[in-house]
Structure 1
């Protein structure tokens, strides 16, 4: 009898331990994230668990079907790169130590760098100083904008390998100079053919030597709607996004609103084909990839003469928390954002909900927002303290804030997720930042 008793204890005691309850929204969020990362096995597992809690949920059924079909598709064989052909190799009897020399590159626009015709290397304006290895002797360096240099602003320089060689690229200045030169080359009509219709009191307007943006309605609008964020120290992360760690940020400006459909069309000329609220000019732009956003920012900066960019993940969370106000945003979600429970599964015009302490709208919900960083779930454990940004290339870019289809648990100020930078099929938009 004693043996039977202990056998019963061993078999049934584990079932008495309390299990951690995971909500339907959490399973659904995990499944959506797995599907976006093309981790179809993970997506199937989480969609099935969500459907056990809420049967016949249309979103989960569709996602499960999509993930299951993707798993059944055979993966294309990986093509092996061709082996380099070496012609008439000469034997070498003398070995010389490699010269440790680097080209240190800074740039004001995204560029591709080719050293001696080698592999293309990407350099971003957010790279404080990117180091690229040089070969011994003279190096032919070709610099092109990320559009391939189609606008004629390709640069070629020769750099000798001798320690660290600094190369500073100022494409914006060169383009402005080229535009100015182009305008000066246009033949002007004779001065006596000009008629001055302005009154005399305006003949000599007061001088203003301060740098001003180009006289452009969009640049004036975007500049007017930027909010100054005083830099400071805060604790980034949460119990779900670990570890909580100290971050120190410089001052910056951030858009009061997400970029709208009207603003996107003003720069890009067209709108994405799939929008949840097509024709809503003041709704946030969505269904745009990270790469699309970089093209938008490049064109915007050329048009306005300003230096807009995406926020870093740390800047985004600091601003969402209320910055130096240190209130961690006391506005309740239902009053602050559009999410699954109140959105009607479509975007809404920006600025309809309550702002946070900095006066920023829609930091929670409406659309996810792209950040500059690459997404690494373990980045917090190795993040630097001052102005952190993850520049180590990964598979995904960071998105923050949740969207119109997110549950309350995914629409928080600290929730992190990643999305492929080339993906343009999600409820993802963005807001702008300036230094």
Structure 2
């Protein structure tokens, strides 16, 4: 009898635990669906349509009074060699992806809320409401290249739109106000920021709520020169520019070891970084590389609509 009672009690406990788990899943589902609905609606509404065109990508330089063309930034002219690019129309998110957006994606896919640093990771609080926190819901999410790409493609699946990371050419075309050679810097006016603002943007590494520090550029895009470097889709190559002097809708090299990150300096600046690399402090540590990002609609028509 005692054994039967024990078994009965155990079964009852298991049933209660299962019931609690089911209730927890149901509660999560009730909380998740409104978050996804709000995110997808806002993501579609925030897409900025950018009419395509032809421009000189890379260090387009300038012709001096002596009639001689010179690059703006000679140290990288070989890898940023100017070349003609023609782009189809596309759309780009007006804001970088926030922690609030990224946490919704993690919740929807039952992925952990963690902080990555070197070879370790720690749990963090999702949907952080503390404005001073690095993970405040309105600040840009800093993630690996693969996480950024996975997020954009997941968002595309939710909206039934061809969303992905922008190409390097798409990012530069947008950051330079449709490839304007007057846009030496990817700021709201194409000019370099004041020394005080540059110190906050570059030297302190301080992240702020998206769109809160500098005005939008003429296309309506925020933070192209602020609030963190951005991942794009392309592999990095020092020679690909000069090997492809005239291209249409370039995707970059087919393979590589580093992904392109668009810089905060000149509007044509780019660097290549791996997703991780050995630490100089400890041979057993690996540094995880994270950057901000935004998604692009890879369609020649606004919001993926078919040609009329």
| TM bucket normalised to smaller | 0.5 to 0.7
Among 170, 173, 176, which residue is 1:318 paired with? 173
**Secondary structure of residue in 2 paired with 1:219:** helix
Matched-pair contact (CA < 8 Å) for 2:274–2:289: no
Counterpart residue number, 1:175: none
| Equivalent residues of 2:275, 2:290 under 8 A apart | no
Which of 172, 175, 191 is equivalent to 1:332? 191
Residue pair 2:176, 2:267 contacting (<8 A) in 1 also: yes
* Cα distance in structure 2, aligned partners of 1:250 and 1:318: 11
| Cross-structure match for 2:85 | 247
State the distance in 1 between where 2:247 and 2:154 align.
32
Q: Specify the SS of the correspondent of 2:91.
A: strand
1:273 equivalenced with 2:133 (yes/no): no
CA distance in structure 2 between the aligned counterparts of 1:391 and 1:272, rounded to whole angstroms: 32
| Contact preservation (8 Å) 1:363, 1:401 | no
CA deviations on 1:285-333 (whole Å, 9 max, x unpaired) are: 01x1111122222322232322210111111100000016664263434
Pick from 296, 299, 307 the counterpart of residue 433 of structure 1: 296
Relative to structure 1, the CA distance from residue 230 to residue 296 in structure 2 (aligned partners, 3 Å threshold; closer, same or farther) is: same
Q: Is 1:231 aligned to residue 52 of structure 2?
A: yes
Between the aligned partners of 2:97 and 2:87, the Cα distance in structure 1 is 24
1:299 is aligned to 2:154:
yes
Match of 1:417 among 252, 271, 282: 271
Alpha-carbon spacing, 1:292–1:339, altered in 2? closer, same or farther (3 Å): farther
CA distance in 2, matches of 1:302, 1:217: 15
> 1:256 and 1:338, CA in 2 relative to 1: closer, same or farther beyond 3 A?
farther
User: Which residue of structure 1 lines up, in the alignment, with residue 101 of structure 2?
Assistant: 263
Residue of structure 1 equivalent to 2:235: 374
Question: Which residue number corresponds to residue 102 of structure 1?
Answer: none
1:284 aligns with 2:143: no
Question: Distance between the aligned counterparts of 2:292 and 2:270, measured in 1?
Answer: 15
Matched, 1:219 2:40: yes
SS in 1 for 2:115: coil
SS in 2 for 1:280: coil
Q: 1: distance between equivalents of 2:145 and 2:259?
A: 8
Residues in 1 aligned to 2:295 and 2:90: alpha-carbon distance in whole angstroms: 11
- Provide TM-score, normalisation by structure 2: 0.62
Does the alignment pair 1:363 with 2:224? yes
Closer, same or farther: CA 433–363 of 1 in aligned 2, 3 Å: same
The question of whether the paired residues in 2 share the 8 Å contact of 1:249 and 1:315 is answered with yes
Report the aligned-residue RMSD: 2.7
Tell me, which stretches of 5 or more residues in structure 1 are unaligned?
1-214, 403-410
SS at match of 2:261: strand
Partner secondary structure for residue 43 of structure 2: helix
Alpha-carbon distance between aligned partners in 1 of 2:197 and 2:209, rounded to the nearest angstrom:
10
Alignment gaps of 5+ in structure 2: 1-35, 60-70, 118-131, 278-286, 300-308
Equivalence for 2:209: 349
Q: TM-score, normalised by structure 1?
A: 0.45
Displacement, 1:356? 1.4
Superposed CA offset, 1:161-193 (max 9, x none): xxxxxxxxxxxxxxxxxxxxxxxxxxxxxxxxx
Is the Cα–Cα contact under 8 Å of residues 277 and 348 in structure 1 kept in the other structure?
no
Task: Tell me how far 1:272 sits from its aligned partner.
Answer: 4.3
Give the number of the structure whose alpha-carbon radius of gyration is greater: 1
Higher relative contact order (Cα pairs below 8 Å, separated by 6+ residues): 2
Distance 1:427 1:339, change over 3 A: farther
Residues 322 and 272 (structure 1), Cα distance of their counterparts in 2 relative to 1, 3 Å cut: farther
Equivalent position SS for 1:216 = helix
Q: Residues 30-45 of structure 1: matches in 2 within 5 Å? A: none
Aligned residues: 212
- The 1-side partners of 2:219 and 2:168 are apart by 17
